[in-house]
Amino acid sequence: MKIQENISIKDLNSLRVNQLTRYFCSIETIEECKEAIEFSISKKVPCLFIGEGSNIVFTKDYDGLLIKNNILGKKEHDSQTIEIFSGENWHNFVDWTISNNRYGLENLALIPGTVGAAPIQNIGAYGKEVSSFINEIKTINTITAEERIYTKEDCEFSYRSSVFQNQNNLFITSVIFETSLDADADISYDSLKDYIKTSAKEVKTLTPKDVFNYVSALRRDVLPDHNKEFNVGSFFKNLTLREEEFNNLNSIIKVPFYKSNSLYKVPSAFLIERAGWKGKGLDNIRVSNKHSLVLTTTGNLKGKEVIKFANSIVNDIHNKFKVKLEIEPTLI
C-alpha cells in the first residue's frame, strides 16, 4: 500500500471536480484497509473511503486520507444468499446475478457506483430499492478499526437513506444479499412499463433478463453518458410530502404524484422543468437536457461552484412552488 501526498482527485469523482487530497492510497484487501486506518490515526487526520466517486461532491480540498476501495470478490453462501465485496462494480454484479439465475435486482441495472456505495443511499429505481435484498452488511470502524456486522434492521433504511449516511466513520467491506429463485419479472413501475410497451416488437412474457435489458436501455436513453457529460446521476431527491404540504403545492401547480401510505411522492424533475431549468446553466455546469434531476459538468470546476449552482435551483424552486429540494449526493 503506497501513500501519496497532495494529489488531485479530479479523476476519482464522476463530476470531475478538481480538488486536492492531503493523502491518498488504494486498497485491495481488508488487511490494507486496516493499515490505511492505522495511518490516518497516526497522522491524526480523518479518512474517507470512495468507490467510483459517483455519488459524492467534494466541496473543498480534503484534509485527510482518501482511500480508493478496490476490494473485489464474492462468496456464494447458498443458492440465494451471496456476499459481495464492496469494491465490485454495481452494474456488473447485477449482470452476474441474472447470468447465474439469481433474480430480483434487475430493475436496478446500470446504476453507477460500487456495491459498497449502494446501501449508503439505499439506491433505487423503477419500483425497487436495494434494501429489499440486503440481509447483512459487514463494516470496519474508521476510528477504532473495530469490525461489526449490521443486520437489515440496524441499517435503518428509508427512502435514499440509511444509518451509514449519518455515521461516516463506517466503511462497508461487503454486503450479503438475498436473491430470489423466482424468475417473475416486475414491470409495475409506470415509466418502465410504458417504455417496454413502446419498445417491444411483440407482447410476450418477460424474463428478468428482458427487464435487465430494458432497464439498461431506458437509462441510456433518458440519462447522459457520465463518461462524456460528467455527473453523479440524480442530484436532487424526489419530494416526499405530507398531505398538507402536497395540497399546498398542488394548489400552486398540478403535479404528478404517487401516494405511499400517508405520504405523497412527487417527481422533482417535473418542478425543475416547469421552472425552466432543463438544459440551462453556465459554461461549465448545467442541468442536463436529457433529465432534469441531473447536473452535468465540463470537468473543469471547483466543488463550491457546483453547490452554488445547485442552490440557485433549490432557491428558485422554493420561491416558485414553496417546497425545498434536497440534494442527493454526499457533500464532503
Residues with a known catalytic role: 160, 234, 328
Give dist(CA 13, CA 220) in Å, integer.
20
- Strand pairing of 330-331 and 56-57? parallel
Residue 16 CA: distances (Å) to CA of 101, 176, 233, 279: 37, 31, 13, 19
Q: Which of 280, 301, 295, 288 is nearest to 327 (CA)?
A: 295
Half-sphere exposure (Cβ direction) of 308: Cα atoms closer than 13 Å: 10
Q: What are phi and psi of 198, to 5 degrees?
A: -80, -20
Q: Which of 137, 299, 226, 45 is nearest to 25 (CA)?
A: 45
Give dist(CA 86, CA 82) in Å, integer.
13
Handedness of CA 310, 273, 127, 210 (dihedral sign): negative
Give dist(CA 86, CA 51) in Å, integer.
8
Tell me the three state secondary structure of residue 34. helix
